[in-house]
Amino acid sequence: MPYLELTLRCREADQPRYENALEDVGALAVTLLDADVDTPNEHAILEPGVGETPLWGEIALSALFAHETDALVLLAALESFDPGLDWTQAHFRNVEDQDWERAWMDQYVPLSFGARTWIVPWNRDLPDGADVHDAAIVRLDPGLAFGSGTHPTTSLCLQWLDALAEAGELQGRAVLDFGCGSGILALAALKLGAQRAVGVDNDPQALLATHDNAERNGVGERLSVFLPADEPVSQYPIVVANILASALDALADTLAARVAPGGRIALSGILAGQEDALLDRYGTWFDALAVQQEGDWIRIDGVRSA
């Protein structure tokens, strides 16, 4: 039986709050490990009672959910239940008895976004009859990192990048993909005409997936990836951040500083109803802020004030 697994690290003092939130949103099981030992599986505590805290300073916590659970909706629910906790560090992977990556690839079909952009599994061809003239084709194997183009938050960003390319605003530019996941947005930007791209993510597995996907698409020399602490401070004419609303709020100063005067930004991962606070927050630095909605999800985009 497949599951969605959430993992994160937390302090001993915060463990009961994390566990309460996870159980409230439907965790099927919770496992606590000592985050500081070389062989953590020898020190596992399975489904401890609420308030029963192991004597570890830092804990590696994992929780299992039904496999059909939407990771971003789950994070939004956790953030709503206890906004005082840091949910931006949560990582996800699918756990099942078979090779889930290959099973996913067998079910995934090519998808088009905007006028030119196609996201295609690395072992598939474009569908018969598809117009491949001047198509920007990203061949993707997302590995263990989130981001395949199927979620509305990613779709909204791909449509935005495609529209920038159609307007001639992407050609020869540098792009920052903050929270790059599988690298899908950075790769699409490069395929659409960007000169170079930088991907930033706090998950080393995401950086590995982004690097592998860049090599597969023949753009490895034009894409650099960094953990947030290692990211070189720079300004970019194009910035896209597909993360959660809480992270967009917390990182507003950082993201605004990354956009060159007159540059463009797209913010995604926002549930409908969360956009007003972010419009106010980013209105300090950006003009012409616009909202686009797909399903329950929102994208905000705008132009950096001179």
Residue linked to tokens 């953030």: 79
Question: Mapping DSSP to helix (H, G, I), strand (E, B) and coil, where does residue 9 land?
Answer: strand
> What is the spatial order of strands in the sheet that 117-121 belongs to?
111-113, 117-121, 136-140
Ligand-binding site membership of 201 (annotated) = yes
Interhelix angle 204-216/184-191, rounded to 10 degrees, is 30
Ligand-binding site membership of 129 (annotated) = no
Helix (H) or strand (E) holding 129: none
Question: Mapping DSSP to helix (H, G, I), strand (E, B) and coil, where does residue 3 land?
Answer: strand
Reading the block at residue 260, the tokens are: 């060159």
How far is 47 from 60, CA to CA, in rounded Å? 13
CB-CB contact of 148 with 108 (8 Å) = yes
Q: List the Cα angle 238/240/241 in 5-degree steps.
A: 150
Cα 219 to its chain centre, rounded Å, is 20
How far is 270 from 262, CA to CA, in rounded Å? 24
Ligand-binding site membership of 154 (annotated) = yes
Reading the block at residue 194, the tokens are: 């960007």
Q: Report the binding-site residues for S-adenosyl-L-methionine.
A: 154, 179, 201, 242
Q: Report the binding-site residues.
A: 154, 179, 201, 242
